[in-house]
Structure 1
Amino acid sequence: MPISLVDWLRAQDDETLAALLRLRPDLAVPVPADISVLATRVGIRASVHRACDDLDTATLAVLEALAVTDADAAPVPREEIGRMLGADVPTEVLDAALAALRERALIWDTDSGLALVPAARDVLPGYPGGLGRSAPNLADSTALAELLAGLAPDERRVLEALAVGPPVGRSRGSADPTSPVGRLLARGLLLCVDPETVELPREVGLALRGEHPLGRVEHTPPVPATIERGADVVDRTAAGAALDVLRRLDLLVSAWSEAPPPALRSGGLGVRELRRAAKEMGIDESAAALLVELLVAADLVGISEGPAPEWVPTTSCDIWAAAGPEQRWSLLARTWLELPRLPGLVGRRDEADRPIPVLSDAARRPRAGRDRRRVLLGLAELPPGTAVRSPAELSGLLAWRAPRRGGRLRDEIVAWTLAEATVLGVVALDALSAAGRALLDDGADPVAALRAALPEPVGHVVLQADLTAIAPGPLVPELAHELNVMADIESAGGATVFRFSDASVRRALDAGRSADDLRELLATRSTTPVPHALSYLIDDAARRHGRLRGGVASSFLRSDDEVLLSEVMAHPEARALELRRLAPSVAISPLPLAEVLDGLRAAGFSPAAEDAAGGVLDLGERGRRIEARRRPATRGTVSSAEPDSARLQAIVSKMRAGDAMAGVRRSVAAATTPNNGSGTTPAVLLDAVRASDTVWIGFVDSHGVAGERVLKPTSLGGGIVEGRDVVDGNIYRVPLHRITSVAVVE
């Protein structure tokens, strides 16, 4: 009698069972009571489908060969599987495929060959191997060969067309006994499915295919075409992309701090707002959708509460902005790697033919992180600095390794992943960067990897006569902050170009810097002399700046120049400010000071705000913030989905204990003594203590839940029996009044 699946599983060692649970984690949820329960779950159709998702093309071909030979009905010799694959499939490929199937308990070994779980047939195509049903009348291979040898040319063409697969075809000539199809039906070389459909029997298809019963089997993975980029070039390019994406996110956070975009009723972000965000960052809409998704997923932006919810930066955003570029990038990269969404779907049509907005539920895909990691791991197999020539090259390799994964978006996910990774600096020039490799390795530090690739911050700029300053690399934080205050970024990249203007210099003066401060900073931080045009710009802006002083009265204006204040009072646009003159040098307004200063600037004046001591007061917009959500640490989220070794060993031990308990339960079924208060139970337990026997005890715990234990009693007294559990080795004490039955285990 062939060995059953449950017997085969029981015969495996603990390491094999733990490996099975690691490969098929759904089998352990909930924890199986014993090996019999595990064997039942192994053959469940849904679980078998999930187990086959990780099989490569060669292993699936072996699975088809097992189905063609009906290994789910009766064991099949290994040699027969090898014959079905063909002589050109190496033995080591067959051995590796059978090992993969055996590790997942999709097949098991018996005395007469290999057996297949019946549910595996549901995973395969309707016609495994492109072969039809078996016809018992064609079982004699010699008679079949004679029939095929006597075929007319038109009859053979019909059979050869169906032998390629699929084995079914439509023909209106089946009703005509003189047609080729009619003659083949009469000889039994075709089977009639319905009046217009015929099917080629399996035996005929195998005979016509000759040395390749399953056709040509792609038993080796395709080798993607590559190009050498150079590890240093890739890492430097990736580092530049990382700095660039941080700069663009700063622009978006600043814009949303001042004017948060409204949230859709569905919780997403509107198309117009996405276009505005893309324009603000200077990138296309697909890259903007990715960065918006990452800001929200990293809890740097959240949706506000209230009747008109908006997307507002959170308090976590300020902490993130204060960190170094390596730490900031690391958070974004980890968030992207584990993001359970597909930003590439944004803009596509959903099932209702409506465009999918960014941040909507339609872009949610729980397995997106797993697929993203698979793509990067495929790149990680190439040497550092080596790139694939195109995403299609990588798609072909991944499709061979897991043809059942990805669905209709499989190839597009590869292209999206490479494009998104390039935006973030995980990939550069279609090669994985050193920081990207560290990101995939839980034991590595991507922060250190990116830091090694980043150029050293510089503490100087090059001033030019056209009112620009060139930073030849990333600036030290304090210099970068001061330049952002007094100048505007005109272009960014390996070198950043800052442009000075009247508005930017006035912004620095509004922030409390004096003209001397600006000149001193530029003179000490520039490798070239300060151009005269820039000195004139600073002096001219400083001469006009602050001649008017504003305070809160709600607000007031004061000026040592009475003529200037008279000019302000007489200006047509100043009427809207509701100014009232209190003295030749002082005027007040009921409007907030910020509105008064903005109105005066719009009218062509250059006022400055002052505090109670007369110093310059910075009234710049600080931006809105909302409370951040409490999010768990993201590190290791993807990899931690697999149970650890200790957990797997505990599950295996519990199943072994359940098996042992089931065996004890069967052996004591006829010898169980109920505890009916007659004193029989204490007597049985006392005898067991004296003879060092093992007993099975049925009991009810303090919650009324029934349980059972197999104990070797060591003492009996005070209404309590104490003994060591032979299954887990622990000492237990069971009150006699809670024991429902007892039996001696032989």
Structure 2
Amino acid sequence: MSVPTPLVDWLRAQDDASLATLLRLRPDLAVPPPADLTVLATRAGIRASVHRACDELDTVTLAVLEALVVADADVEPVDVSAVSRLLGPDLPAAALDASLGGLRERAIVWGPDDALSLVPAAREVVPRHPGGLGRLASGPAGSSALPDLLAAVTPDERRVLDALAAGPPIGRSRAGGDPESAVGRLLARGLLLRVDSETVELPRQVGLALRGERPLGQIAVTPPDIGARDRGGDVVDRTAGGAALEVIRRLESLIAHWSRIPPPVLRSGGLGVRELRRAAKEMDTDEATAALLVELAVAADLVAESDGVAPDWVPTTNADVWAAGGPEVRWSLVARTWLDLPRLPGLVGRKDDAGKPISALSDGVRRPVAPRDRRRVLAGLAELSPGTAPGSPSALADLLAWRAPRRGGRLRDEVVGWALTEATVLGVVALDALSGPGRALIGDQAGLVAALRATLPPPVAHVLLQADLTAVAPGPLEPELARELALLADVESAGGATVYRFTEATVRRALDAGRSASDLHELLAKRSATPVPQGLTYLVDDVARRHGRLRGGAAASFLRSDDEVLIAEVIVHPGSIGLELRRIAPTVVVSPLPLVELMDGLRAAGFSPAAEDTGGAVLDLSDRGRRTDPRRRSGARPGPPEPGAEQLAALVSRMRAGDAMAGVRRGTPAAATNGATVDILRSAAAARRSVWIGFVDGHGRVGERVLEPTIVGGGVVEGRDTVDGAVHRVPLHRITSIAVVEEPAQGA
């Protein structure tokens, strides 16, 4: 067996690419940047860091780690053959090599195959009884007499031993105090160890002997079958497109509803249960989906807390910008927000640790690792060909659990189900298969808008008018038609075909927005694939006949009409008393109230006034609801970006330089005399070698630096700092000590 190698020396022998891989796989080691490789080696063995690194390991690699712990590789180096014997014949040599390679890349294991060492903190990662084995025992269980002792056990004693050998090795039995019982006889012969009066433990040697050629038991070497099913790529994408349009419609309903009736923010933060139910009813969906959409609306900064003593959840001005975009642009914002959402909406309604229900938008839903788990689910689906789905959500959960058993905690499988459900609501997943837009979402997001556009049916330019004062849109409408129809009618039901309802209020809304009766008739005739029903024509004409006979303006406001009788009727109407009307001409009255309040008061009294601007054109005074300022910059992504190859290379270079500087400190730098300093610097510049210098700056502060000298003369040395790459000039008379840096050895 080779001589053990300390981890720091093993790291020094690695090439720069291996160190960069280590920092990429274990990014916590680089925060803050380690000064040298000694600091890196120390961090690599910290318990919390080792736990995080092991969260990425699959079932086979964790089994190899467990075998290393059983072999006590954290105490002294072990040979790979001993690890292989523990793992049994089911694990191929190639799989063992791959697992050891992954552990070496993460600096959890180091050294050659004949002297594998393990970081001590790894023992806290594996279960309390590694491999389901107990502690080593002395006495009969640890002697050469063990085979004979096992051969002599009775059937009832063998049943006890087999049960404990299957794991865990701890068992409870009150019969242990009876020397005639099976447990009592096994204790007497040393085949069981007593833990306390009611607990016994199977020694490791006995467990290994009973398990035979599989000392660590059966290992799931291959991943579970996912049971793939072909759903059809076109069917999946069309279904996803419909879901995307539906989620946009529901968010529009939520924004419109909260514009009119903003729900209050709970004192503890979040959204109340009754307000969530109202939102679900308004969006025509269940509470779980409503909780998801509410969370997304706030995360996308479409909704935020208003300012004030009693804040409400109010749409932001960003909601108006969002609503002005096309469906593809609106959906892309929602989808990207969901992917990076550091929260688990599936927790809404569950009980927290204190037994209280978790409310939407509260801190109880926050889970910083949620984006990572969400991406894992989508990445698992992306491995299947387009249009292919797993046999079931549980099959996907089993596969992900095999790949990372330590991830997710007690909610591991539920998180997979929640991610699939949420992705299906958004159209990222359809029929359990990843859609085209979903693949763009986790890949090159530059093509996200185009990917959704390809799944949407072409917009239609017509509706089907019905005799019951409804219109049916057989698909997504062209933007211009959609805007006009939204003014003229209300959505009665949505789905594959949207049903709009015409009423007196909706027609008046269109007239208030500046449309004339002839405009509406032209729109209906031009955009309907069926004849315009007579009842709808009468409705438009009747509302238009009464609309605008009264004209209001700001003076604070005025009211005018060519009909003097109508003006008189308004003045004497009981509902006009609070409007404080004053007649200044036969056809004109004024009011101190704002124009909006005047119009609302007249409509409440049963009149149909129209507002006008200073030029006499119809003025749209419709209430667009409350708005508040955005709370954060749009498009901001949570968390720092992953370091790139150049950043990792620079960090490795910095550690190498720090290591070299530390080596110089451990040596004996020469005291600097002017002649010796100049000679050393010139020799280093000619050989392109680095030097360590100690100096005193102009303020009397002591410093040190590793430079690669380029110019020596004129009383100064100029060189490039090997740590930060900057060029520095140091006066020669301020140098107090100097030494040439020996280059650290690097492995191939």
Change (3 A) 1:539 1:345: same
Q: Once the 2 structures are TM-superposed, how far is the Cα of residue 124 of structure 1 from its aligned partner?
A: 0.7
**How far apart, CA to CA, are the structure 2 residues paired with 1:430 and 1:702?**
69
Between 1:411-420 and 1:622-631, the stretch displaced more is 622-631
How far, CA to CA, are the matches of 1:505 and 1:745 in structure 2? 85
Residues 64/744 of structure 1: CA separation in 2 closer, same or farther (3 Å cut): closer
String of CA shifts for 1:609-649, please: whole Å, max 9, x gaps.
334444433221132222223426346x67x6321111111
**Could you tell me how far 1:60 is from its partner in structure 2?**
0.8
Match in the other structure for 1:214: 216
Name the SS for the 1:204 alignment partner. helix
Q: Match of 1:631?
A: 633
1:262 partner SS: coil
Per-residue deviation, 1:223? 1.5
Name the amino acid aligned to 2:153.
L
Q: Distance in 2 between matches of 1:209 and 1:745?
A: 56
Q: What does 1:648-659 correspond to in 2, within 5 Å?
A: 648-659=648-659
Corresponding residue number in structure 2 for 1:678: none
Deviations 1:412-463 (A, max 9, x none): 1111111111111111111111001000013651111011111222222222
Correspondence 1:92-491 to 2 at 5 A: 92-110=94-112, 112-137=114-139, 142-442=144-444, 444-491=446-493
Shift in alpha-carbon separation, 1:729–1:478, aligned structure 2, 3 A? closer
| Alpha-carbon distance between aligned partners in 2 of 1:558 and 1:686, rounded to the nearest angstrom | 98
CA distance, structure 1, for counterparts of residue 739 and residue 560 of structure 2: 102
Alpha-carbon distance, 1:239 to partner: 0.9
Structure-2-length-normalised TM-score = 0.92
- Structure 2 counterparts to residues 600-611 of structure 1, below 5 A: 600-611=602-613
Aligned partner of 2:6 in structure 1 is: 4
Q: Identical aligned pairs, as a percentage?
A: 69
Hey, what's the Cα distance between the residues in 2 that align with 1:140 and 1:551?
102
1:697: Cα distance to partner? Answer: 2.2
1:515 and 1:538 in contact (8 A); partners too: yes
For the pair 1:739 / 2:735, whether they are aligned, the reply is yes
Distance 1:333 1:715, change over 3 A: closer
How has the CA–CA distance of structure 1 residues 606 and 714 changed in structure 2, closer, same or farther, with 3 Å as cutoff?
A: closer
Q: Distance in 2 between matches of 1:333 and 1:246?
A: 11
Aligned counterparts of 1:21 and 1:714: Cα–Cα separation in 2: 32
Return the match for 1:720 from 692, 716, 723: 716
Alpha-carbon distance between aligned partners in 2 of 1:599 and 1:62, rounded to the nearest angstrom: 79
In the alignment, structure 2 segments of 5+ residues that lack a partner are: 743-748
CA distance in 2, matches of 1:388, 1:184: 49
Match of 1:68 in 2: 70
Per the TM alignment, residue 400 of structure 1 is displaced from its structure 2 partner at its CA by: 1.1
Contact conserved, 2:696 with 2:703, CA < 8 A, in 1? Answer: yes
Q: Distance in 2 between matches of 1:618 and 1:652?
A: 64
Deviations 1:136-194 (A, max 9, x none): 43576752111100112222222111111111112233333333222222221111222
CA offset digits 1:681-704 (Å, max 9, x no partner): 113224436766976421234566
Q: 1:111 to 1:537 in 2, by over 3 A?
A: closer
Match of residue 676, structure 2, among 667, 675, 684: 684
> Which deviates more, 375-384 or 76-85?
76-85
**Partner SS, residue 111 of structure 2:** strand
What does residue 28 of structure 1 align with? 30
Give the 3 Å change call, closer, same or farther, for CA 591–139 of structure 1 in structure 2. same
Aligned to 2:501: 499
Q: Contact conserved, 2:80 with 2:113, CA < 8 A, in 1?
A: no
The code of the aligned residue for 1:546 comes to: G
Contact 2:660/2:741 (<8 A) preserved: no
- Amino acid paired to 1:150: A
Tell whether the 8 Å contact from 1:672 to 1:743 is kept in structure 2 after alignment.
yes
**TM-score, with structure 1 as normaliser:** 0.93
Q: Which moved more, 1:594-603 or 1:4-13?
A: 594-603
Once the two structures are overlaid, the 10-residue window that deviates more, 51-60 or 172-181, is 172-181
Larger CA deviation: 686-695 vs 172-181? 686-695
Contact 2:142–2:205 (CA under 8 A) maintained in structure 1: no
Deviation readout 1:19-48 (Å, 9 max, x if unpaired): 111101111112222222222111111111
CA distance in 1, matches of 2:446, 2:594: 54
Q: Secondary structure at the match of 1:652?
A: helix
Aligned to 1:643: 643
1:623-679 CA-partner distances (Å, limit 9, x unpaired): 2222223426346x67x6321111111111122222323333334x2x632x6xxxx
Assess, with a 3 A threshold, how the Cα gap between structure 1 residues 706 and 193 changes in structure 2: closer, same or farther.
farther
Residue 663 of structure 1: aligned partner: 663
Name the SS for the 1:119 alignment partner.
helix
What is the rounded CA distance, in whole Å, between the counterparts of 1:471 and 1:731 in structure 2? 69
Q: CA–CA distance in 1 between the matches of 2:560 and 2:720?
A: 93
Q: 1:703 to 1:55 in 2, by over 3 A?
A: farther
Aligned to 1:508: 510
Structure 1 unaligned spans of 5+: 676-680
Deviates more, 1:243-252 or 1:428-437: 243-252
Equivalent residue of 1:641, what SS? coil
- How has the CA–CA distance of structure 1 residues 689 and 651 changed in structure 2, closer, same or farther, with 3 Å as cutoff? closer
SS class of match (1:280): helix
Q: Rate the CA distance shift 1:658–1:556 in 2: closer, same or farther, 3 A.
A: closer
Deviations 1:302-323 (A, max 9, x none): 2222222222222222222111
1:552 to 1:735, Cα distance in 2 relative to 1, 3 A: closer
Within 2, Cα distance between the matches of 1:613 and 1:500? 30
Q: Distance in 2 between matches of 1:176 and 1:212?
A: 33
Report the CA distance shift for 1:528/1:16 in structure 2 as closer, same or farther (over 3 A): same
